[in-house]
Amino acid sequence: MFGKGHKRKLDEDEAGLEGKALEVAGSCPEGLSKVSYTLQRQTIFNISLMKLYTQRPGEPSLQRRVLINNMLRRIQDELKQDGTLRPLLLPPSPPPDDPLDEGYRQAPPTFGVLVQSQPSALLMGPPPLSPHPMGSPASPNPPPLPSLPPQDCPLEACLTPASLLEDDNMESMENATFSIATPPTPPVSPRPARFQSMEPDIATSRTISANGNTLTISTSQLAREHRVKPEPASVLQAELRLLDPLPTLPSGGSLSPDPPSSSPSGFLSDLALDDVLFADIDTSMYDFDPCTTTTTSTTTGSAAIATAVGGISKIAPVVTADDLIKSLASPYNGPAPQVSSNQPFKIDLTELDHIMEVLVGS
């Protein structure tokens, strides 16, 4: 079943990678070398992601999901402690929500990827697991990753200027695929420099948003109670249904209405890409007044994004009646639920990312 004896390559498929790790793990449990330890860790990380994101037949068990989520958090903390954390822009789709859980959502991981060429960052000897996750359940949330800009209203406070994100995102979108079957490839060497330059902007933009609606992307803070309605995720899922090889997601109506989904906010950094791609889309069908008014003070890039988003959202309603109703209804929402009306735009952009990835990948 597993690829035994395969020469490990960067683009080796998931099964081979797992098989190797399992073999290593199975054969020498105690004297794990640094590389095999990180390999096993990465494998477990991937397996955990697959488990969370794959819709299982039958009832999803809260205990199982909590344990898998704890595993992911632990690995994330370890990676952060290693210092080799690379913000990885993973695809936006949340795992199929179990409405039972009333908002317990596993964070779409924004974990970093081990950079292959940094052995010094690897731990010496049998690395101790992070003590953090072993703490009591009341332990505070792990600090958010400084990877993605927070989302807030007004819009301009959240969006990193498109020019800064553009170059990075082109590469990151190629690397980050939704199908977690392929392990995320390590970033190429020029990237670290760009990420470094990006981070100060992210840091400052996070401090701008001071009110309670701040959403920083981290595993712990992802599914915060929010005014956002669940429609963005449903729109997102509707779009994802178009992509065949991906795991199926539940229909839009199955999301719990109580705690709204806020996972789409993790993909603000993708907006710039769509600006480039869809700036010429006819937006006459939709008149997103709330959005454009909030973006008056943004750069022209952001305004273009907003209008582009309006056009982009045309794609989504085609998929389900629910989405159609919601997207049609959103222009008529008053300025009050600003965040909720902003949400669909971001989601749609990221959906298009996936379309792009599929196109590029084929």
Cβ-contact 267, 347 below 8 angstroms: yes
Alpha carbons 201 and 109: distance in angstroms, whole number? 21
Nearest CA-CA partner of 232 in 108, 109, 342, 100: 342
Please give the structure tokens belonging to residue 58: 């039958």
Q: Determine the 3-state secondary structure of 154 from DSSP.
A: coil
CB of 59 to other proteins, least distance (A): 6
The nearest distance, CB 211 to other proteins, in angstroms, is 17
Measured distance CA(354)–CA(1) in Å, rounded: 30
Yes or no: say if 309 and 267 are a contact pair by the CB < 8 Å rule: no
- Applying CB under 8 A, which residues contact other proteins? 18, 21-22, 25-27, 29, 40-41, 43-44, 47, 51, 58-59, 61-64, 66-67, 69-71, 73-75, 98-105, 107, 128-129, 133-134, 137-139, 141, 219-225, 250-251, 253-254, 256, 259
Which residue, 69 or 84, is less far from other proteins as judged by CB? 69
**For other proteins, which is the closer residue by CB, 40 or 237?**
40
First to last CA, the chain: 26
Residue number with CB closer to other proteins (75 or 316): 75
Query: Which CB, 141 or 204, lies closer to other proteins?
Result: 141
In the complex, minimum distance from the CB of residue 144 to other proteins, in angstroms, rounded to a whole number:
12
CB of 358 to other proteins, least distance (A): 27
Nearer to other proteins, 25 or 242 (CB): 25
Distance in Å, CB of 198 to other proteins, minimum: 26
Contacts of 111 (CB under 8 A, 6+ apart): 45, 72, 75, 76, 79, 85, 88, 90, 145
Going by C-alpha positions, the residue among 113, 71, 69, 114 that lies closest to residue 95 is 69
Least spacing, CB of residue 72 vs other proteins, in Å = 11
CA 272, chain centre distance (Å):
16
Nearer to other proteins, 99 or 337 (CB): 99
